[in-house]
Every structure is written in C-alpha cells, then in structure tokens.
Amino acid sequence: MLKKCTSADHDQVMEFLIEEKAFNLFIIGDIENFGYDADFQDIFAQYNKNGEIEGILLRYQHTYIPYTKTKIDLTKMANLISSDPELVMVSGKNEIVKNMQTLTPLKRAKLTYFAELKDNEALQDQPHDFIVKKASLEDVERICVLKEQISEFDFNSSTKQSFKRTIETKSGRTFFIENAKREVISIASTTAENQYSAMIVGVCSHPAERQKGLASVVMQELCKELLAEGKTLCLFYNNPNAGRIYKRLGFNDIGLWRMAYPK
C-alpha cells in the first residue's frame, strides 16, 4: 500500500529514514523545513503486509526522490511518478533510480559521485585577500545573475524560485565573494539543511574569475560554519578537478547518486 503521509506518521517516517541520514538528506530536510501540508511537497510511504514502512517517496514540485532499504516492488511509486504530466526529474541512490527507470518514462540519466564531510581536520585557514559574505534576501538577484552565466547549471524561473525560498525559509544558506562593482563572482550554497546535515550545491565562479581559488575560499568558509553547528556536509560531483578540490577539504566518496529525466 502506498499512502500519503501526514504529521501523524512523522515518527515512523523519520525512524525509517534516519539509518542513512546522508542519502536521505533531501527528504529529511524537506520534511523538517516544509512539513506535510505544503502545496508543493508530498511525502508518500509504502507499507508491507505487516504495516511496516518499506519505502518512502518525496515529491517536491515536479521532482521525486524514492528511497528503500531493500529491493522492493516499485510499481506503485512508479505509477504515481508517471502520472505527473510535468515530471522534471527523479533522483536518488543509483540502484533505486536505475530500477525506477525501467518502470517509468525516464529516458536520460546522469550519474554523480556522492561525497560527505564529517569533520574539519582537513580544513586550513589559507591566507587570502577575499572578503566572504553570507547572503540575505537582498543579495538574491545579484547571485542569480551569476548563476545564469554558468553553462553547467540548468538555471530557470523554477530553480530561481526554489533558491529564493531556501533563503527565505533558512533551509539553506549561501556564501559569496563580490568584486569592486558589487558583482557576485563566486558562490557556494547549501540546501535541504536539517538537524543532522546539509547539501552543498551551486559551487561556482564567474567564467572570467576561475583558476584563482575563489571557490575553495568560499567553500571553506561555508564548511567551517556548518561543521561548527555539528552538521555533516554532503555534495555531488562528476568533475574530477572539482573532486580533487573537495577531497582536499576532507570530503570522502560514500556512493553514487543518479538523476533521471523524461527527455
């Protein structure tokens, strides 16, 4: 049985998710930050014959994250996902989403490394002349100007809205460096922050400002603040050069994350 969850199901849902906190960062964070009644989000639980949860499915707008601990029948989740006429993406642990692709109209897929940082042992205060700032709502437009110039980002009105909501709800934070013209030239952000962890996203520098160490500086300040709060940090990467930067900061690979798209 696949059932839409309410706050009455919260303890049972969290007990199921907590065993793999890193891989369930998005689901845990979205539940903590937006609950069970937001119009842009739903949490579904799949139950076995004994009434125990065997799978969770998050819907955030038109993107989905399925999670299971063991191999189960994904047909009910797949049917729900396939019924969304505006389906954008399904993402999650590699093996789960790979199985989901056989049951849904998901054609294209992208595989990334999933890395985690648990402590600050590798973080070092490197001398630099940059001033790193923490973004507020008034900085959103300037930050989006930079995001729109990054070819690797699929930045659109929907992702802009999500970014703004993250700042508004404090479900994530952004650190940035600006130039003398107050143009943002490098950023690193978090999203889906929860009591245990945070996902680092959107690390980039302006194309004309790369190879200057800006991203490393911003990342280091972001990581220091979150680690001081007792949170672990996670991120995706598929660029070997980026991977080397993250590993110098102390990140370790813990698995693979798959993103699948209908087109």
Q: Where are the domains of the chain?
A: 2-96, 116-261
Q: What is the mean pLDDT of residues 59-83?
A: 97
Is the pLDDT at 50 greater than 90? The verdict is: yes
d(CA 41, CA 61): 6
Q: Quick one: what percent of the chain has pLDDT higher than 90?
A: 79
Residue bearing the bigger pLDDT, 120 or 256: 256
What pLDDT score does 4 carry? 98
pTM of the complete model: 0.82
As a dihedral over the C-alpha atoms of residue 96, residue 194, residue 202, residue 102, rounded to 10 degrees, the angle is 10
pLDDT of residue 235: 95
Q: Measure the CA–CA gap between 215 and 204, rounded to whole angstroms.
A: 6
Q: pLDDT tens-digit profile of 140-161? A: 999 999 999 887 777 777 788 8
Going by pLDDT thresholds of 50, 70 and 90, the confidence category of residue 185 is: very high
Sheet holding 63-68, edge to edge: 2-4, 41-47, 53-60, 63-68, 89-93, 252-261, 108-117, 232-237, 197-205, 184-191, 174-178, 133-134
Percentage of the chain beyond pLDDT 70 is 99
Helix (H) and strand (E) counts in the chain = 8, 12
Average pLDDT over residues 27-41: 94
Q: Let me know: does 246 contact 237? Beta carbons within 8 Å.
A: yes
Summary mean pLDDT of the chain: 93
Q: Tell me the pLDDT band of 180, cut-offs 50, 70 and 90.
A: very high
DSSP E strand boundaries for 118-251: 133-134, 174-178, 184-191, 197-205, 232-237
**Predicted pLDDT at 161:** 87
Fold assignment, 116-261: Aminopeptidase (3.40.630)
pLDDT recorded at residue 45 = 98
Distances (CA, A) of 210 to 174, 182, 186, 205: 19, 17, 9, 6
- Indicate left, alpha or beta for 250 from its phi (over 0: left) and psi (-120 to 50: alpha): left
Q: Is the pLDDT of residue 243 over 90?
A: no
